[in-house]
Amino acid sequence: MTTLRKNKGLTLVLGGTGKTGRRVAERLKAKGHAVRIGSRSALPSFDWDNEKGWDAALKDVTAAYITYTPDLAMPGAADAIEAFAARAKRRGVKRLVLLSGRGEEEAQACEQIVQNAGLEWTIVRASWFNQNFSEGAFVDMVLGGAITLPAGTQVEPFVDVDDIADVAVAALSQDGHHGQIYEVTGPRLMTFADVATDLSQATGRAITYVDVPHEAFVAEVAGSGAPKDVVWMLDYLFSTVLDGRNAYLCDGVKCALGREPKDFADYARNVAATGVWETRA
């Protein structure tokens, strides 16, 4: 593969302060690529709800990593992706890499928009993130010793965000990934009880999985003061996507990078060593 010439235009990383975006930006910068962070707090700022500000964010950009918060399944996401792709093309962007979600019809509709935008494209279609338990919605459950979710015994191939970032960086900075849909998963199917077991072993303390009714879970999330879009997303994921449709492994990481994906147990040990899950007596 050949690499895009460094300092030849900018790479815009939307969601550049989020789980995947932060890692993508760090890796690109480490490779010597010029990066612009796309977020509301950046200068120039990027806000999905303020299309007038997109031109400033897209100035001199040749490649863009697209993440849509909180999820491509959200109402209005497809319209936003379509408008962004069209504007990116007009501004001279050559390459788009979209982070998508497995088993989400709405996300696949957004994939089609990117594929039909008339630019080089790569889709990174991801399963549930390992890092949800250390950087996201479930970290407090780990700290509290009980993962209380309405997941039953359903299995999922949890994927590490570092693997997602590595695949995205390859697609953004190297030739040879155009037209590829990389469906990325971890190396094994796991129940949430399996997750709790691995977390227990990594932290050295008991962490259990407690299956709870879906309605009660959503009500508790809403009562916690979580933003409405986060409540909607969690409701959607546990009521719609977590039904077995994604209970199979894919080789997207190996196809893109030539190596195996990181296992959840390795992720848990690495995170435990940082002290993120340490609790005060």
Q: How far apart are CA 80 and CA 38, in angstroms?
A: 15
Taking residues 147-158, report their average pLDDT: 97
Q: How far apart are CA 230 and CA 35, in angstroms?
A: 28
Span 67-123, pLDDT tens digits = 998 899 999 999 999 999 999 999 999 999 999 999 999 999 999 999 999 999 999
Q: How far apart are CA 41 and CA 44, in angstroms?
A: 8
Range scoring the smallest mean pLDDT among 160-164, 207-211, 276-280: 276-280
Contacts 24+ apart (CB under 8 A), 208-216: 208/145, 208/146, 208/147, 209/146, 209/147, 209/149, 209/151, 210/146, 210/147, 210/148, 210/149, 211/149, 211/150, 211/151, 211/152, 212/148, 212/149, 212/150, 213/150, 214/150, 214/238, 214/239, 216/150
Domain ranges, ordered by start, for the chain: 10-129+158-185+247-261
Span 37-83, pLDDT tens digits = 999 999 999 999 999 999 999 999 999 999 998 899 999 999 999 99
Instruction: Give, in words, the CATH class of 10-129+158-185+247-261.
Output: alpha beta
Structure token pair of residue 80: 């936003």
How much is the pTM? Answer: 0.95
Q: How far apart are CA 233 and CA 70, in angstroms?
A: 7
Query: What is the helix (H) or strand (E) element at residue 223, kind and residue range?
Result: helix 214-223
Q: Which residue has the tokens 């894919």?
A: 250
